[in-house]
Amino acid sequence: AQSVSQHNHHVILSEAASLELGCNYSYGGTVNLFWYVQYPGQHLQLLLKYFSGDPLVKGIKGFEAEFIKSKFSFNLRKPSVQWSDTAEYFCAVNAGNRDDKIIFGKGTRLHILP
């Protein structure tokens, strides 16, 4: 069965600090990987996704993530965070077959200090 682990439950950073949020998944086959973000009071929205090809994917608002197949990881990064990045971030996985099942991690609350 698929599962997703997010290592950090709550992260506090100052503006301009670099960010890396960990995500590991357990599934032996081909996977599709995602990061979603939920800003305070808003719907969940897609930040970026990996289906195939270049393992370094770029998303909105300067975020990027790297798929490392050997480590079953898909960590989210941003070189310099802003106060507006305060949100909850969710990693998600879909088995890359024809099943549309999508499993989420428990989320990481990111708090950026101005």
Partner 1 sequence: DGGITQSPKYLFRKEGQNVTLSCEQNLNHDAMYWYRQDPGQGLRLIYYSQIVNDFQKGDIAEGYSVSREKKESFPLTVTSAQKNPTAFYLCASSSSAGKLFFGSGTQLSVL
- 108 bridge partner residues: 89
Token output for 29: 């086959």
Q: Which is nearer to partner 1, 3 or 80 (CB)?
A: 3
**What sign for the dihedral angle of Cα 96, 97, 98, 104?**
negative
Stretch that binds partner 1, among 22-30, 55-63, 72-80, 94-102 (CB under 8 A): 94-102
Would you give the binding string for partner 1 spanning residues 18-57, x where CB under 8 A is met?
Answer: --------------x-x-x------xxxx--x-x------
User: Residue 57: exposed, middle, or buried by beta-carbon count in 10 A (0-12, 13-18, 19+)?
Assistant: buried
Calculate the alpha carbon distances from 30 to 34, 62, 107 in Å.
14, 26, 23
Would you give the binding string for partner 1 spanning residues 72-91, x where CB under 8 A is met?
Answer: ------------------x-
Q: Which is nearer to partner 1, 13 or 102 (CB)?
A: 102
Say whether residue 100 binds partner 1 (CB under 8 A).
yes
Stretch that binds partner 1, among 20-28, 64-72, 76-84, 100-108 (CB under 8 A): 100-108
* Smallest separation (angstroms) from partner 1 to the CB of 114: 25
- 11 bridge partner residues: 110
Where are the alpha helices (H) located in 1-114, listed in sequence order? none
